[in-house]
Amino acid sequence: METIYILSRKVNVDDKVGHINGRDYGGVHYSFSFMCPSNDIRLHGLTFFGPQYAVPFSGGSVSYFAQIRMDKEVPRARTWSDYLWGIWTGTVPHTSILDGFYMSESVWKVTVKEEDAKNPITIMLGKRVELPAGEWIHIRFQLDGPPTERLKKEDKNRTTIWHPESKLMFHTLIGSGQLKDIHFSVI
């Protein structure tokens, strides 16, 4: 049987609060990029922070719509010289280069009951996404609904995360503070 691990982006995993001030993330795509340089892994799911403590629950629950898309490359930042060359030649440089998808955009509806308000929102992917060692994955997501908690600054700005149970090191790019955990297995 395949062992599923949880890679937490939080430094102190026993700290139950993401951030005291919640934030409404609706209407905008946010992102997070990571890779495992030493092993192939299989991505099973993502965990987002749940409702911010002050969210009013009308009818005993609140709903979120999550849109998730996974690209095979991290967007490449353009330089000023690329921009100036584009102006001079009349070609507009693209803001990112993406050569394909691990998973095209999918949408989930998640309902959180008032008694589960302190629990995070976990979305298990219908399709397991296999990630080759050393290859970046760029996760874009939009979570529409009431304000949610988020990572503290020291958690959000980490660029390496050691996972002791799987004995794997992950490299990350600074991304959204709303994505809390990544569910994965080692291939």
Q: Where does the pLDDT of residue 165 fall: very low under 50, low under 70, confident under 90, or very high at 90 and above?
A: very high
pLDDT of residue 14 exceeding 60, the answer is no
Residue 168: inside a domain: yes
In a domain, 12, yes or no: no
Give the domain range for residue 64. Answer: 20-186
Q: Is there a domain that residue 149 lies in?
A: yes
Residue 5 domain-assigned (yes or no): no
Residue 171 lies in a domain: yes
153 within some domain: yes
Residue 160 has pLDDT above 70, yes or no: yes
Q: Per-residue pLDDT for 171 more than 70?
A: yes
Considering only CA atoms, which of 51, 55, 172 is closest in space to residue 116?
Answer: 51
Task: Choose between 166 and 146: higher pLDDT.
Answer: 166
Q: Provide the domain count of the chain.
A: 1
The 3-class secondary structure across 143-169, one letter per residue, is EECCCECCCCHHHHCCCEEEECCCCEE
Cα(111)–Cα(121) distance, integer angstroms: 9
Instruction: Please state, in angstroms and as integers, the Cα–Cα distance from residue 156 to each residue in 11, 64, 77, 175, following that order.
Output: 9, 22, 20, 7
- Bridge partners of 27, per DSSP, are none
CA atoms within 13 Å, Cβ hemisphere of 184: 25
91: tokens are 């070609």
* pLDDT classification of 1: cutoffs 50, 70, 90: confident
Instruction: Give the residue from 65, 29, 58 showing the smallest Cα distance to 117.
Output: 58
Query: What's the average model confidence in pLDDT over 106-129?
Result: 84
DSSP 27: T
Residue 150's domain is classified under what CATH number? 2.60.120.820
* Tens digit of each residue's pLDDT (9 = 90 or more) over 59-113: 888 888 888 878 776 555 556 566 555 555 555 444 343 344 555 557 888 888 8
Confidence of residue 150 (pLDDT cuts 50, 70, 90): confident
Is residue 40 very low, low, confident or very high in pLDDT (cuts 50, 70, 90)? very high
pLDDT of residue 141: 84
Look over the chain and give the mean of its residue pLDDT values, rounded to a whole number. 76
**Comparing C-alpha atoms, which of 180, 187, 182, 179 is closest to residue 31?**
179
Span of 60-69, 72-81, 129-138, 157-166 with lowest mean pLDDT: 72-81
